[in-house]
């Protein structure tokens, strides 16, 4: 019988948002390639999939390495022959310091992962989607609230997330002739290990410290499922999903 499952690649699948989205996709019948730097973390995601784990593949991948990204998407092509969804999610932050104190190697690491890595993955996915038959697919980029409004001392993370918005717009425009839809999800305060500090207190625009509300990460997974439930003649171009009471509207 021909493969009828939708095929998805999720980067940063070993924890947090990437893990939650991967498990949700597996739960509704996708085959998912779990990409991330840590094989151990990816294996933990696979174990959490339970009976759905047979439809997942662990592919350790450093998205900042273009050779590793090529190998990931070569695996997609050789094993499945097509790709329906890329969730471009992998990203890292940097220490909260003034711009002149941010080490150049840290800046480069954030840019290489968040921006270059997203482009490498989108480039490879676009190539598969453009040439496969039937043609087309969907790319969803993780933009973040920081694609709109920065936090104090976040120049590397915020600059790359603003750049993701440009990447999303270009992919959306260039994908039109090939039935490739590209959208962006901007997430505010989803509760993950990376954001656990928010409940204790994070810098505000006036440099005071204050705790911030968070939301269950399952809400993000539900949003991704909705965005990819649409036919390819429809697209959620930008979606902001955030903890209802977080200081985003009126931030600063």
The two tokens of residue 187 are 């997430």
Going from N- to C-terminal start, the domains of the chain cover 7-242
Structure tokens at 214: 């968070």
Per-residue pLDDT of 88-144, as tens digits, reads: 999 999 999 999 999 999 999 999 999 999 999 999 999 999 999 999 999 999 999
Which of 155, 148, 221, 137 lies closest to 186 in space, CA to CA? 148
Query: Is 30 among the catalytic positions?
Result: no
Tokens read off for 194: 């990376």
> According to the model, what pLDDT value does residue 251 have?
57
3-state secondary structure of 87: strand
pLDDT class of 168 with cuts at 50, 70, 90: very high
What pLDDT is attached to residue 2? 43
Residue 157 tokens read as 């993370």
Give mean pLDDT, residues 182-196.
90
Tokens of 151: 């936090």
Spot the catalytic one: 30, 120, 157, 226. Answer: 157
- Which neighbouring-strand residues pair with 207? none
**Which superfamily is assigned to 7-242 in CATH?**
NAD(P)-binding Rossmann-like Domain (3.40.50.720)
Residue 52, both tokens: 């759905």
Query: What whole-number distance in Å separates Cα of residue 12 and Cα of residue 36?
Result: 5
């Amino acid at each position: 019988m021909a493969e009828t499952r939708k095929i998805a690649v999720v980067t940063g699948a070993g924890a947090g948002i990437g893990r939650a989205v991967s498990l949700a996709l597996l739960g509704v019948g996708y085959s998912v390639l779990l990409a991330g730097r840590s094989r151990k973390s990816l294996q933990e995601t696979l174990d959490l999939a339970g009976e759905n784990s047979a439809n997942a593949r662990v592919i350790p991948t450093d998205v900042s390495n273009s050779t590793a990204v090529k190998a990931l998407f070569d695996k997609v092509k050789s094993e499945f022959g097509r790709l329906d969804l890329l969730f471009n999610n992998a990203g890292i932050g940097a220490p909260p310091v003034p711009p002149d104190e941010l080490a150049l190697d840290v800046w480069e690491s954030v840019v290489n992962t968040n921006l270059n890595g997203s482009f490498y993955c989108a480039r490879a996915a676009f190539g598969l989607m453009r040439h496969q038959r039937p043609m087309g697919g969907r790319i969803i980029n993780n933009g973040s609230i920081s694609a709109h409004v920065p936090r104090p001392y976040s120049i590397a993370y915020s600059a790359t997330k603003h750049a993701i918005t440009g990447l999303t717009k270009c992919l959306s425009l260039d994908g039109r002739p090939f039935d490739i839809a590209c959208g962006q999800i901007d997430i505010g305060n989803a509760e993950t290990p990376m954001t656990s500090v928010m409940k204790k207190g994070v810098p505000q625009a006036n440099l005071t410290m204050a705790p911030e509300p968070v939301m269950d990460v399952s809400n993000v997974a539900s949003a991704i499922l909705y965005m990819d439930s649409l036919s390819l003649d429809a697209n959620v171009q930008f979606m902001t999903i955030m903890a209802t009471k977080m200081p985003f509207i009126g931030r600063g």
